[in-house]
């Protein structure tokens, strides 16, 4: 525990140091921001964000950090201001200004905009003592006369500006807001003097600050209707602010770091008000300030949605509180009483079905139906555990005399964030000394499962966890018994020490390929079962982990930038050379593994490098028609290469997509075995990728003599970039060829016929017909696709709508089943019921399909598919192809939480 705590402290210090360095760098950027490229500024900000996010992984698992960051980011954006958190800063915390500024700058660096409100009680008392003013309190409220208010206004303004200055020094934009937000009436003028009771909150100054990219820093002074300044307790002001904004998090920073038991002195980790409030308020140690705070917190949470909670922590623990499941605070929430029932009637069959429909990953992926879940449930005795609003639902199957299996554990986002899942799991542990359960290998809550298990197997896209069993032989016996009785849906045990992983129907592993298989068992440590970290056993030979070198030619465009960012997170593949004629001599931005400078490689340079074995792979990110001289140079150099084997070449352009001797790299449709042995790979076009994935499952059902019609609409990044010299710096800067302004808020159709992706999609889809032994479609020489593209005002993301005439009547369910069968087990393919929208694909690494609609006659289907044109449409697909060709795991370096 001491070692873990030390590591966490070091990680936190590292994160804070990164904030300081990032702040210094960004402060420099601010100095020339008016005259420099917004794109360059965004690149610096993204680099800072990536660096600090990686440091966060040291205080929590990568999955929980990125999950919390993704959830918070969705509610902390200039387009959705004031939805992330309200943070009340106590006056004592302001005394540790550097610590506070670092913690708040940390949030700013990862793109979050909390609303910060501070008090200044200790500072006010010090000044009043110096000026001979004796403070007076009634019922814990400071009586405020004109002299006291005069001092308070001065102190509040000074402390506010100190905090703003400390943040700006770190490169964090902040805006002082000392008036205009709180309106108030006199609380009791005769009794308390110039003390206010808040009657109204104006959000506009706060929202304007966030829209401008600055943290709003508020004081708790209010104004009456006639313009009189009134003093308001900062805790009460923070509560009223939270009622108005309804943020995801309400945080009270104090110098003690939480609330503590008045007798034992231990920190109170969680207070569930619905269950504990009445008894707590009767405790003799709950008095004075503690009682007042508990009463205020209860009144606040009674007003807010039940999912809201209050955290009381220190400034130094802010990142651990926000980005880990365990937290670092006193968490106060309303909570719910837990239940357990031996039948679904106990909670209602409709409620149970709805939770399964909305959250079960197998149901959402189409691998199982709700009816199938109910049928499986009825085969053995079971108990359903959960809380009243069903933020968590878990099902434990427990036949007499057998080891229990938790067949379902389905938390909502609120259930995870508010620790309801832990409460439910603890209730299950009280009832069962041993337990096994499964979860998808890519479950965003996977870290939670590992933390609570004594061991696990991971195989074919699923993980099997257990607790209460510490002998491997017993685990294997239990699992074999489960398999024999059908209590788990696939084999988790290796056939032999070097046997390849078994791939069962519905597995999420990649077809035609081997995926890693691992076993983790927590061995006894000093005689204590399960007290050590796990280690791997019984694993077959894994994919290659040999470090290799990559050269990127044409790195200045959006696709090159996206690939550079991905390579920063690749465990083995290192970018060593980048070439751009216009940027030669400038540093490469966005790559965090090493410092690299752009060069201007000629074909002769490339030939010599290939001959000397300088790299293991080349990526050509060049405009169409420009690639051939460089590929020819690689070919010539490979003949004389020292090692006797040439590099892999992946072309992102269209030059080789119809070329014999080149492998077309769309693994989900045309297999992986050919890519694994390929040296020359053509990366599919973005529109063509989505079009082919949309049409392929129905290739045998297209009406003869007709053709599918695809309407595609892409973000303006798909049009590419141009370079212009920045007047201030003299450095070339990247700008879009088609700007949002030029689109005038609308969409612009272009290349209405004959787009190259139209021919590309039809050409390669026709090979599927030949592969199926059915010959040319309709006797017309293969599949023909009609394609119409448009460009829109968003940055990245493609939505493609296909209309396919069918040779027979079909139902939407039948069409969905064809897609489920075709893409069974594909990690980067998501099938959903709803129509795909931009938010489903923008910034994600996979392809999503949905909205299956049939014509009235049932002889035509319309489907929507989408992908990010810079990721699955280009850089992510390129990385898949590189991984396969270089012997790595296909998905190495691809962030699984953004698929």
- Within 677-832, where are the H helices? 686-695, 740-743, 756-771, 812-822
Torsion on CA atoms 868, 874, 875, 879, rounded to nearest 10? 120
Helix (H) or strand (E) run with residue 394 in it: strand 392-397
**Residue 646 three-state SS:** coil
Helix (H) or strand (E) run with residue 257 in it: none
**Residue 409 three-state SS:** strand
Spell 860-899 as b/e; 16+ CB within 10 A means b: bbebbbbbbbbbbbbbbbbbbbbbbbbebbbbbbbbbbeb
Q: How far apart are CA 660 and CA 650, in angstroms?
A: 15
634-637: long-range contacts (C-beta < 8 A, 24 or more apart)?
634/606, 634/607, 634/610, 636/607, 636/610, 637/606, 637/607, 637/608, 637/609, 637/610, 637/611
Query: How many Cα atoms are found within 13 Å in the side-chain-facing hemisphere of 563?
Result: 32
Query: How many Cα atoms are found within 13 Å in the side-chain-facing hemisphere of 94?
Result: 27
Q: How far apart are CA 478 and CA 564, in angstroms?
A: 46
Q: How far apart are CA 242 and CA 297, in angstroms?
A: 11
Q: How far apart are CA 690 and CA 712, in angstroms?
A: 9
* Whether 785 contacts 758, CB under 8 Å: yes
- Relative to beta strand 732-736, strand 721-725 is antiparallel
Nearest in space to 347 (alpha carbons), one of 397, 375, 385, 399: 385
Per annotation, catalytic residue among 87, 210, 681, 686: 686
Nearest in space to 179 (alpha carbons), one of 198, 213, 205, 149: 205
Distance from chain centroid for Cα 357: 23
* Whether 300 contacts 239, CB under 8 Å: yes
* Whether 253 contacts 318, CB under 8 Å: yes
889-892: long-range contacts (C-beta < 8 A, 24 or more apart)?
889/515, 889/516, 889/542, 889/543, 890/510, 890/513, 890/667, 890/672, 890/827, 891/510, 891/827, 891/828, 892/543, 892/570, 892/571, 892/572, 892/573
- Give every CB contact of residue 382 below 8 A, 6+ residues apart in sequence: 342, 395, 396, 397, 398, 407
List Cα–Cα distances, 369 to 15, 110, 897, in angstroms. 45, 39, 24
Query: How many Cα atoms are found within 13 Å in the side-chain-facing hemisphere of 796?
Result: 21
Residue 265 sits at φ, ψ, to 5 deg, of 80, 0
DSSP of 46-109: HHHHHHHHHHHTTTS-HHHHHHHHHHHHTT-BTTBTT-SEEEEE-HHHHTSHHHHHHHHHHHHH
> DSSP strand E in 571-720: where?
573-579, 617-620, 648-651, 663-664, 680-682, 709-715
- Give every CB contact of residue 494 below 8 A, 6+ residues apart in sequence: 501, 517, 538, 540
* Whether 786 contacts 765, CB under 8 Å: no
- Count of residues making up the chain: 899
686 is catalytic: yes
> What share of residues in the chain are helix, strand, coil (percent, to 5)?
40, 20, 40
Nearest in space to 740 (alpha carbons), one of 712, 718, 715: 715
- Give the residue numbers annotated as catalytic, written as ranges: 686
């Amino acid at each position: 525990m001491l070692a873990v705590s030390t590591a966490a402290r070091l990680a936190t210090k590292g994160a804070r140091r990164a904030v300081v360095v990032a702040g210094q760098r960004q402060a420099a950027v601010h100095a020339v921001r008016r005259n420099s490229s917004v794109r360059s500024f965004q690149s610096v900000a993204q680099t800072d964000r990536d660096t600090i996010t990686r440091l966060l992984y040291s205080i929590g698992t990568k999955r929980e950090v990125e999950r919390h960051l993704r959830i918070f980011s969705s509610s902390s954006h200039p387009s959705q201001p004031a939805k992330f958190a309200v943070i009340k800063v106590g006056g004592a915390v302001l005394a540790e200004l550097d610590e506070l500024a670092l913690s708040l700058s940390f949030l700013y660096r990862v793109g979050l905009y909390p609303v910060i409100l501070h008090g200044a009680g200790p500072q006010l008392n010090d000044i009043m003592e110096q000026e001979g003013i004796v403070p007076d309190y009634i019922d814990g409220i400071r009586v405020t006369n004109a002299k006291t208010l005069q001092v308070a206004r001065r102190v509040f303004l000074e402390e506010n500006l100190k905090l703003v200055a400390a943040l700006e020094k770190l490169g964090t934009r902040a805006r002082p807001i000392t008036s205009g937000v709180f309106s108030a009436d006199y609380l009791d003028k005769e009794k308390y003097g110039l003390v206010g009771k808040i009657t109204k909150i104006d959000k506009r100054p706060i929202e304007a600050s966030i829209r401008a990219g600055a943290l709003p820093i508020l004081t708790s002074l209010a104004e009456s209707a006639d313009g009189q300044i009134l003093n308001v307790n900062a805790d009460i002001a923070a509560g009223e602010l939270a009622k108005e904004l309804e943020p995801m998090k309400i945080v009270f920073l104090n110098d003690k770091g939480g609330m503590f038991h008045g007798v034992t002195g231990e920190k109170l980790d969680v207070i569930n008000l619905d269950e504990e409030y009445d008894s707590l308020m009767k405790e003799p140690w709950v008095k004075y300030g503690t009682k007042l705070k508990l009463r205020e917190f209860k009144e606040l949470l009674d007003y807010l949605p039940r999912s809201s909670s209050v955290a009381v922590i220190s400034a130094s623990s802010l990142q651990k509180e926000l980005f880990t499941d365990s937290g670092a605070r006193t968490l106060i929430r309303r909570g719910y009483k837990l239940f357990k029932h031996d039948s679904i009637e106990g909670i209602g069959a409709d409620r149970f079905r709805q939770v399964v429909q909305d959250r079960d990953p197998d149901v959402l992926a189409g691998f199982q139906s709700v009816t199938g879940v109910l049928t499986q449930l009825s085969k053995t005795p079971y108990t359903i555990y959960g809380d009243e609003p069903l933020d968590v639902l878990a099902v434990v199957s427990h036949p007499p005399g057998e080891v229990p299996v938790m067949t379902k554990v389905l938390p909502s986002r609120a259930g995870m964030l508010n620790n309801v899942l832990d409460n439910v799991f603890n209730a299950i542990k009280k009832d069962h000394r041993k337990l096994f359960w499964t979860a998808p290998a890519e479950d965003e809550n996977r870290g939670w499962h590992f933390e609570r298990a004594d061991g696990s197997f991971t195989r074919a896209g699923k993980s099997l966890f257990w607790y209460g069993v510490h002998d491997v032989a017993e685990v294997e016996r239990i699992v074999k018994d489960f398999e024999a009785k059908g209590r788990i849906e696939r084999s988790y045990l290796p056939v032999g020490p070097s046997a390849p992983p078994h791939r069962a129907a519905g597995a999420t592993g990649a077809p035609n390929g081997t995926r890693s298989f691992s076993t983790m068992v927590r061995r006894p440590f000093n005689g204590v079962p399960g007290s050590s970290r796990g280690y791997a056993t019984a694993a077959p030979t894994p994919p290659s982990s040999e470090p290799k070198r990559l050269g990127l030619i044409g790195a200045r465009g959006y696709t090159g930038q996206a690939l550079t960012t991905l390579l920063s997170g690749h465990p083995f593949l290192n970018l060593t050379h980048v070439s751009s004629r216009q940027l030669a001599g400038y540093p490469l931005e966005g790559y965090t593994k090493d410092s690299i400078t752009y060069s201007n490689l000629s074909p002769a340079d490339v030939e010599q490098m290939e001959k000397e074995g300088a790299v293991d792979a080349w990526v050509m990110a060049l405009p169409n028609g420009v690639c051939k001289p460089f590929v020819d140079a690689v070919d010539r150099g490979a003949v004389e290469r020292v090692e006797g084997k040439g590099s892999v070449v992946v072309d992102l352009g269209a030059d080789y997509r119809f070329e014999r001797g080149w492998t077309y790299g769309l693994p989900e449709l045309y297999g992986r075995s050919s890519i694994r042995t390929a040296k020359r790979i053509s990366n599919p076009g973005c529109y063509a990728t989505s079009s082919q994935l949309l049409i392929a499952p129905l290739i045998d059902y297209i009406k003869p003599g007709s053709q599918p019609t695809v309407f595609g609409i892409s973000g303006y990044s798909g049009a590419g970039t141009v370079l212009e010299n920045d007047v201030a710096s003299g450095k070339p800067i990247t700008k879009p060829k088609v700007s949002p302004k030029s689109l005038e808020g609308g969409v612009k159709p272009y290349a209405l016929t004959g787009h190259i992706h139209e021919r590309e999609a039809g050409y390669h889809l026709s090979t599927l017909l030949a592969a199926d032994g059915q010959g040319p479609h309709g006797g017309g020489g293969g599949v023909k696709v009609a394609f119409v593209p448009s460009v829109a005002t968003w940055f990245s993301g493609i939505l493609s709508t296909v209309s396919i005439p069918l040779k027979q009547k079909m139902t939407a369910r039948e069409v969905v089943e064809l897609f489920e069968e075709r893409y069974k087990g594909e990690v980067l393919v998501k099938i959903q019921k709803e129509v795909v929208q931009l938010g489903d694909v923008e910034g994600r690494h996979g392809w999503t399909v949905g909205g299956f609609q049939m014509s009235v006659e049932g002889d035509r289907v319309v489907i929507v598919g989408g992908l990010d044109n810079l990721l699955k449409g280009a850089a992510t697909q390129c990385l898949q192809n590189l991984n396969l060709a270089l012997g790595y795991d296909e998905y190495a370096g691809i962030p699984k939480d953004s698929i």
